[in-house]
Amino acid sequence: MTSTRPATRRAQALSRMRPGGGPDDRQRWQQRKASLTREAILEAAVDSLVDTGYAGLSTNDVARRASVSRGAMHHHFASRADLVEGLIEHVFYHRMRQFLDEFLARLKQAPPGEDPYRMAMELHWRSVQSREYGAFLRLAVAARSDDALAAIFTPAARLYDEIWLGEMHHAFPQWREAPELMRIANDVTQAVHAGVLINGAIWGDERSAAVLERAAMLVEDLAQLAQG
């Protein structure tokens, strides 16, 4: 009996993944494959940015890290600017989704009386220590001295800040009657956590913990004001 050739086995496997094997199924598979390639490129871009900084970010390095051809790289991101734009969106949504998923999961399992604001600040502090936030922070710093990057980064960051606030309003309905107080609480949290992340090695654990605790207390005070 003749053995099945590798190409035939691969075709059979793909056929099982695409029930019916019709044009629509093939199209969905191609879309899925393209999505996976794009995701791999963006993950490699995060690694490149964290490892080498914005100055070292290049499409060639990212293609090498992602193990994709230059043609595939160019198909998804024709230029470094296109890559940066996609990268900003990628790190923002990944971090936001992770924070919200973890918060809502913890909230469902939380015992009665557990402070949701403390919980949220703990999870937010964890999120700013992620590689995605590290990449975002490197872009933010580089944009201060690079006009071309600032032209891409600043409007995108402002847009995503508004999206983040909108998601926070859904996650924390108790703030809906006091949106300005919620914005202040959000801004304090963002600023303090970024500051501790940057200065923590200088300040040390005890001093950093004291700053984080004061920020948590301030957010709790703002929450009490919001609830009257």
Question: Where along the chain do its domains lie?
Answer: 17-78, 80-228
User: How much of the chain, in percent, has pLDDT values that exceed 90?
Assistant: 74
pLDDT at 179: 93
Residue 213 has pLDDT above 90, yes or no: yes
Check pLDDT > 70 for residue 32: no
Q: Is the pLDDT of residue 16 over 90?
A: no
Question: Residue 76 — pLDDT band, cuts 50, 70, 90?
Answer: very high
**DSSP class per residue in 183-216:** HHHHHHHHHHHHHHHHHHHHH-HHHHHHHHHHHH
Angle formed at CA 124 by CA 225 and CA 119, multiple of 5 degrees = 60
| Chosen CATH of 80-228 out of 1.20.140, 1.10.357, 1.10.3470, 1.10.10 | 1.10.357
Angle between helices 80-109 and 59-66 (to 10 degrees): 50
User: What's the pLDDT score for residue 228?
Assistant: 73
Q: What is the pLDDT of residue 27?
A: 60
Tell the CATH topology of 17-78.
Arc Repressor Mutant, subunit A (1.10.10)
Radius of gyration of the chain (CA): 22
Q: How far apart are CA 99 and CA 48, in angstroms?
A: 23
Whether the Cβ atoms of residue 40 and residue 63 lie closer than 8 Å to each other: no
Mean per-residue pLDDT over the chain, rounded: 87
The tokens describing 159, both together, are: 């847009």
* Site of tokens 């390095």: 61
* Over residues 197-219, mean pLDDT: 97
| pLDDT score of 22 more than 60 | no
pLDDT in tens, 117-176: 999 999 999 999 999 999 999 999 999 999 999 999 999 999 999 999 999 988 888 888
Place of tokens 């598979």: 29
Q: Return d(Cα 77, Cα 69) in angstroms, integer.
A: 12
Residues 6+ apart with CB under 8 A from 78: none
End-to-end CA, the chain:
81
Q: Residue 186 carries which side chain, given as an amino acid letter?
A: N
Q: Which amino acid is at 37?
A: T
- H-only helix segments in 68-146: 70-76, 80-109, 116-128, 131-143
Query: Which pLDDT band holds residue 6 (cuts at 50, 70, 90)?
Result: very low
The Cα–Cα gap between 108 and 209 comes to 27
